[in-house]
Amino acid sequence: MKDTLANPLIVQSDRSILLETDGPLFEDARDAVASLAELVKSPEHIHTYRITPLSLWNAAAAGMTADQVIDNLVNFSKYEVPDNIIVEIRDYISRYGRLKLHKLEDGQLVIDSDDDLLITELINNQAIKPFVTGVKNGKQILIEPGDRGNIKSALIKLGFPVEDLAGYVVGAPLEFSLREVALSGDPFALRKYQRESVDAFYMRGSNHGGSGIIVLPCGAGKTCVGIGAIHALQTHCLVLTTNTIALRQWKSELLDKTTLTAEQIGEYSGDSKEIRPVTLATYQVLTYRRTKDSPFLHFDLFDKGNWGLIVYDEVHLLPAPVFRATASLQARRRIGLTATLVREDGREEEVFSLIGPKKYDVPWKVLEKQGWIAQAVCHEIRIPLPESERYRYAISDKRKKFRIASTNPMKEEICSRLIEKHANDNILVIGQYLDQLHALAERFKAPLITGRTATKERERLYDAFRKGEEKLLIVSKVANFAIDLPDANVAIQVSGTFGSRQEEAQRLGRILRPKRDGTIAHFYSMVSRDTCDQDFSVKRQLFLTEQGYRYEIILAEDV
């Protein structure tokens, strides 16, 4: 009989899963569990996951069967998987696709099911009655096309996610090719997992494809997946990004890796309002309004082009108002790109309903072994506040507390030790507060790059860093999205933004490009001990662990 006590999982009847981090099966078990459950917390020795209806529906949408989900748990569990968990897994996974949304020849939408009693129950449910226009043959619920998103949102709240097979508009045609050699001079082709991501989304143009989320680790090239999706569809496209810097990175990548011309790519931001075959817009401009109660001035962008595809970059950051607009865009193909399905506002169900379910993900460890991302270790260094600051911290309001903790003067000495330790490496020191960064730049006689640094000077410094002429750069939060520095292998974060998972993903992505010599990348995050700085760091730790990175906590005296 197989000895299972060496297995790292404990599956409990309350849907929680405990994963021991010590032992040879940890990484394989983590990858198995991540496909079917959500990470809740991740201290050093035991990580906690939770099985939820949504995590199981995402597993089902990605092609997993109930038997495969159960086998993943059984194969790594110390003890028998509780019977109620097995029953619930089968129940919830069977719910995905029990309701299907189709389009009739007259353009009207219907929801049908092999379960006649379920249809009867829904016909009489008050939550969906506002969207029902009639019943056909007693087995099909008729829906107006404009309520396609609303009905899906309502039904998932009732515990029945709809499989949307109603099809999509084609969009205006756009012919272009992917380059075999990028303009930068480097050979270019989609990597195997990037091609698989596009295929899982596109599904050869069938109604089973066309909407969904691609989940890939930081540094894995999600932009290239988006470009691959646009290329597969050969259609006018609207790309929504987090900010203007990210928007321009998309434009740079499109020009570098495709035959699209600058005249075919438009920027729709605070600076410019261009509508082109590929239009790049920011979430900020879409959600702009003059006052809190005014209408959103730019929502009509969704209707200004004959879009065959909408790309939601960093979909876990999608602003709440954009959900409302997306509810009316269900006839257009939609792809979301992200490193995490977790949202800080808890609206994961709306992402599932309105953008689409998870279509593809790949474990971080797999990409690391294949050499596509660098091996990385994350270190949190806990630093005490000096006595002179503790009183000021104690009497301050929440915002001042965060600044005092973030700009802890003792961080400068720890930063010095780390820079000395990594004297032969390529180091980025990243922070939030300019006075703190100016002090560091002065102490280490290093260049400082902020939002005020002229574009030409930034590019000169980035180029010098790439060539090894500069080994240390001090950068503000402009570095979160602005730079592609494949040779950076050490990042030291002296201050952050309230534990933002998005920010952590972007900063970590700066050092995860594969290294020519195979060296390990190091990400250091300095945290003031016993302050709100440490409280916010829990979110960052959760994100990094979710991505599969090794995470260690070090006391300042041990650096």
When divided into structural domains, the chain yields a total of 4
The CA distance from 32 to 81, in Å, is 15
Residue type, position 379, single letter: H
Closest CA to 241 of 301, 282, 275: 282
Cross-strand pairs, 136: 140
pLDDT in tens, 19-35: 998 889 998 998 899 88
Give yes or no for residue 68 having a pLDDT over 90. Answer: yes
Whether residue 170 lies inside any domain: the answer is no
pLDDT: which is higher, 51 or 546: 51
Residue 256 banded pLDDT, cuts 50, 70, 90: very high
pLDDT in tens, 465-480: 888 899 999 988 765 5
Same domain, 53 and 104: no
Which pLDDT value is given to residue 290?
78
Residue 508 banded pLDDT, cuts 50, 70, 90: low
Same domain, 76 and 121: no
- What's the token pair of residue 125? 């449910």
Which pLDDT value is given to residue 235?
96
The CA distance from 161 to 150, in Å, is 12
Of 164, 182, 201, the position where a domain reaches its end is 164
Task: Output the domain CATH number for residue 120.
Answer: 3.30.780
- What's the token pair of residue 171? 């969009």
Q: State mean pLDDT over 92-97.
A: 94
Q: DSSP for 35-66, please give it.
A: TTSEEEE--SSEEEEE--HHHHHHHHHTT--H
Cβ pair 491, 418 in contact under 8 A: no
Q: State mean pLDDT over 349-376.
A: 84
Same domain, 208 and 72: no
Give yes or no for residue 545 having a pLDDT over 80. Answer: no
Same domain, 156 and 215: no
Which strand ranges, in their side-by-side order, compose the sheet holding 132-136? Answer: 132-136, 140-143, 109-112, 99-103, 162-164
Task: Give whole-number Cα distances, 475 to 414, 425, 432, 520, in Å.
Answer: 17, 16, 9, 22
Give yes or no for residue 386 having a pLDDT over 90. Answer: yes
pLDDT: which is higher, 535 or 313: 313
Whether residue 264 lies inside any domain: the answer is yes
Give yes or no for residue 534 having a pLDDT over 90. Answer: no
Give yes or no for residue 551 having a pLDDT over 70. Answer: yes
Give yes or no for residue 414 having a pLDDT over 90. Answer: yes
pLDDT in tens, 303-347: 888 999 999 998 887 887 887 788 888 989 999 999 888 777 778
Whether residue 176 lies inside any domain: the answer is no
Q: State mean pLDDT over 485-501.
A: 73
Q: State mean pLDDT over 355-371.
A: 84
Which pLDDT value is given to residue 2?
59
Q: State mean pLDDT over 536-554.
A: 75
Same domain, 142 and 215: no
Whether residue 466 lies inside any domain: the answer is yes
The CA distance from 283 to 304, in Å, is 16
Same domain, 46 and 125: no
pLDDT in tens, 144-159: 888 999 999 999 999 9
Same domain, 124 and 72: no
Same domain, 90 and 104: no
Which residues, including other chains, have CB under 8 Å from residue 468's CB and lie 6 or more apart? 426, 487
Residue 453 banded pLDDT, cuts 50, 70, 90: confident
How does DSSP classify residue 353? I
Of 368, 387, 405, the position where a domain reaches its end is 368
Of 164, 183, 205, the position where a domain reaches its end is 164
Cβ pair 491, 524 in contact under 8 A: yes
What is the C-alpha radius of gyration for the chain, rounded to an integer number of angstroms? 25
| Structural domain of 83 | 9-95
- What's the token pair of residue 303? 């209707």
Same domain, 552 and 509: yes
Q: State mean pLDDT over 282-291.
A: 82
Same domain, 551 and 507: yes
Task: Output the domain CATH number for residue 494.
Answer: 3.40.50.300
Whether residue 443 lies inside any domain: the answer is yes
Give yes or no for residue 1 having a pLDDT over 50. Answer: no
10 Å CB burial of residue 516 (0-12, 13-18, 19+) is exposed
Same domain, 266 and 151: no
By three-state DSSP, how is residue 257 classified?
helix
| 33: region left, alpha or beta (phi > 0 left; psi from -120 to 50 alpha) | alpha
Give yes or no for residue 75 having a pLDDT over 80. Answer: yes
Which pLDDT value is given to residue 498?
55
Same domain, 57 and 79: yes
The CA distance from 524 to 421, in Å, is 12
Give yes or no for residue 193 having a pLDDT over 50. Answer: yes
Whether residue 66 lies inside any domain: the answer is yes
Show the DSSP H helices in 371-433 as ranges: 387-394, 398-406, 410-421
315-350: b (≥16 Cβ within 10 Å) or e: bbbbeeebbebbbbbbebbbbbbbbbbbbeeeebbb
Whether residue 483 lies inside any domain: the answer is yes
Whether residue 175 lies inside any domain: the answer is no
Q: State mean pLDDT over 385-395.
A: 92
Q: Provide the mean pLDDT of the chain.
A: 87
